[in-house]
């Protein structure tokens, strides 16, 4: 058992140096290498605080959302956000969507895609660094780990220490807390699919369905294993985003960058030594120690890097201590690094064809979605023509076609509607238990928040000619005048 060296003598500056090997550094990277545990050191600074804030806000959204109430009237779910599989509805505050309106979800996904494209083109992998659930939960798990086992050095020492009561106690506490968080994660997930307060009681009294327990178990397992034990491997090996990333960014995209133009040549620096003829990087390896992905940012852009910017905080702290300007590691672009190396003026170009296009597309999709949502009709009609028999020849020679009408009433109240048919001369409804009024229209009730099935028979005179004739069904709400229509055909057969 080797003694852990806390201070790296190679680092030169004894106050700042640390022994930290980037386990995933470019040189150490091997396909068949066994995974080495990473012990990220706690960073302090602007980006660490930003990440704490993002973590708290995102976790709060996740855990609190199912508990927000939203009054929709008696007998209707009062949960603001509810994916009701059983009732086949999606509730989102004032919006209620039916399964056939899934294109709104598609629109939302398109919007999210362009959003992530845009953010990547502007600021690199900000999603990975701040908002991805893998990042958020891993951050939370590392926080718990640090709280129980201490910071980097103490954790490393504990890992190497022989089995003792204290070690067992710490390990058990950590894993218990992790499992509790994991269970709470799975527990919160199921609340999105059922009434949260009711389900909450059911879960603890054993009355919830097997599906509920299965999903809680599943998400407990994935949370615990992904955030607790697998961590950076998820980003490196499992997630497709790092591969897609290459197409989403370009040399103008901001990303966490080691400014080699300023840092090199790197090397240890002693107090009162001159900074002339050398770079600002004192090779203290703090940026490596804080990295949750186990890389050395000074190797440049890497697949493993999630752009969490913690190395910026670590480096800035050192730069302040050694009296050099901050920003040796910073959000910067490849182009800028190259420009400065050539002695040209650097600049940031957020307005580029790519970013403008993404932004325009986002606005476009957003406008289309908003328009669709605002003008969304709560009355719709689907017509399914009977395929067998394709037509019926009546004793008098007339032709009859039969249709199944689906009156879709998305409003939470019953509506009285008139059904009319048009497009074929002489085509009219015949009674089939429905009252056909003096105008030749059928009047029925459309049940609230439901699809009402109405079978209708349409008869056309014998002389309309064989073949398909265009036909249109229209329904009109007798109270509000709201309309919906659907096209179909009337098929007349040839002579027997």
Interatomic CA distance for residues 239 and 393, integer angstroms = 62
Q: Which of 306, 312, 266 is nearest to 287 (CA)?
A: 312
Which residues, including other chains, have CB under 8 Å from residue 374's CB and lie 6 or more apart?
none
Of 329 and 405, the one with the shorter C-beta distance to other proteins is 405
Burial class (CB in 10 A: 0-12, 13-18, 19+), 300: middle
Q: What is the pattern of x (binds other proteins, CB under 8 A) and - over residues 43-82?
A: --------------------------------x-------
Q: Which of 184, 384, 451, 464 binds other proteins (CB under 8 A)?
A: 451
- 8 Å CB contact between 283 and 322: no
Nearer Cβ to other proteins (60/404):
404
Nearest to 286 by CA among 27, 6, 17: 17
450 near other proteins, rule: CB under 8 A:
yes
CA 446 to chain CA mean position, Å: 37
Q: Does 198 bind other proteins (CB under 8 A)?
A: no
How many angstroms separate the CA atoms of 252 and 249, rounded? 8
Q: Check binding of 431 to other proteins (CB under 8 A).
A: yes
**Could you say which of 44, 69, 160, 455 contacts other proteins (CB under 8 A)?**
455
Please tell me the distance from the alpha carbon of residue 28 to that of residue 32, in angstroms, as a whole number: 11
Establish if 402 lies at the interface with other proteins (CB under 8 A): yes
Of 84 and 317, nearer to other proteins (C-beta) is 84
- Distance from CA of residue 286 to its chain's centroid? 32
Is the CB of 91 or the CB of 117 nearer to other proteins? 91
Among 416, 426, 467, 480, binds other proteins (CB under 8 A): 416
Q: Which range touches other proteins (CB under 8 A), out of 130-138, 151-159, 453-461, 463-471?
A: 453-461
**53/209 with CB nearer other proteins:** 209
Q: Does 445 bind other proteins (CB under 8 A)?
A: yes
Assess 33 for contact with other proteins (CB under 8 A).
no
Cα dist from 261 to 159, 278, 328, whole Å: 38, 11, 9
Beta bridge partners of 429: 458
Is residue 437 a contact residue for other proteins (CB under 8 A)? yes
| Residue 440 binds other proteins, judged by CB under 8 A | no
Please state, in angstroms and rounded to a whole number, the distance separating the CA atoms of residues 19 and 464. 91
In angstroms, give the least distance from the CB of 197 to other proteins: 19
- Site residues (vs other proteins, CB under 8 A): 32, 75, 87-89, 386-390, 392-397, 400, 402, 404, 406-407, 414, 416, 430-435, 437, 443-445, 447, 449-455, 457, 495-496
């Amino acid at each position: 058992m080797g003694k852990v060296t806390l201070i790296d003598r190679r680092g030169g500056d004894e106050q700042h140096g640390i022994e930290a090997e980037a386990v995933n550094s470019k040189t150490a990277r091997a396909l068949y290498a066994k995974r080495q545990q990473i012990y990220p050191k706690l960073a302090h600074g602007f980006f660490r605080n930003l990440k704490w804030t993002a973590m708290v806000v995102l976790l709060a959204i996740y855990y609190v959302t199912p508990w927000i109430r939203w009054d929709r009237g008696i007998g209707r779910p009062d949960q603001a956000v509810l994916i009701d599989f059983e009732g086949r509805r999606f509730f989102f505050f004032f919006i209620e969507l039916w399964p056939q309106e899934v294109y709104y979800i598609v629109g939302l996904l398109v919007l999210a895609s362009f959003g992530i494209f845009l953010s990547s083109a502007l600021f690199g992998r900000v999603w990975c660094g701040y908002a991805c659930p893998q990042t958020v939960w891993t951050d939370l798990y590392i926080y718990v780990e640090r709280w129980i086992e201490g910071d980097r050095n103490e954790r490393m020492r504990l890992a190497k220490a022989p089995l003792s009561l204290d070690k067992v106690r710490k390990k058990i506490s950590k894993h218990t807390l992790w499992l509790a968080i994991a269970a709470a994660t799975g527990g919160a997930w199921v609340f999105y699919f059922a009434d949260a307060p009711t389900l909450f009681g059911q879960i603890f009294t054993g009355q919830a369905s097997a599906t509920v327990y299965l999903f809680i178990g599943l998400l407990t397992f994935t949370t615990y294993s992904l955030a607790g034990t697998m961590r950076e491997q998820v980003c490196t090996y499992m997630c497709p985003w790092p591969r897609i990333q290459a197409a989403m960014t370009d040399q103008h995209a901001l990303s966490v960058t080691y400014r080699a133009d300023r840092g090199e040549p790197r090397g240890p620096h002693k107090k009162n030594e001159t900074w002339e003829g050398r770079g600002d990087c004192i090779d203290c390896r703090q940026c490596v120690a804080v990295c949750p992905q186990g890389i050395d940012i000074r190797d440049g852009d890497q697949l493993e890097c999630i752009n969490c910017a913690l190395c910026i905080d670590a480096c800035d702290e050192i730069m302040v201590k050694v009296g050099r300007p901050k920003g040796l590691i910073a959000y910067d672009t490849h182009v800028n690094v190259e420009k400065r190396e050539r002695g040209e003026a650097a600049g940031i170009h957020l307005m580029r064809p790519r970013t403008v296009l993404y932004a325009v597309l986002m606005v476009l999709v957003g406008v289309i979605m908003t328009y669709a949502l605002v003008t969304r009709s709560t009355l719709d009609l689907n017509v399914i023509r009977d395929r067998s028999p394709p037509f019926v020849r009546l004793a008098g020679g007339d032709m009859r076609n039969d249709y199944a009408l689906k009156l879709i009433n998305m409003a939470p109240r019953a509506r009285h509607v008139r059904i009319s048919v048009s497009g074929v001369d002489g085509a009219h409804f015949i009674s089939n238990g429905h009252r056909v009024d003096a105008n030749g229209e059928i009047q029925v009730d459309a049940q609230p928040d439901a699809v009402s099935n109405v079978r209708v028979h349409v008869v056309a005179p014998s002389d309309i000619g064989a073949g398909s004739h265009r036909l249109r069904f229209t329904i009109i709400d007798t109270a509000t005048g709201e309309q919906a229509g659907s096209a179909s055909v009337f098929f007349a057969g040839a002579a027997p």
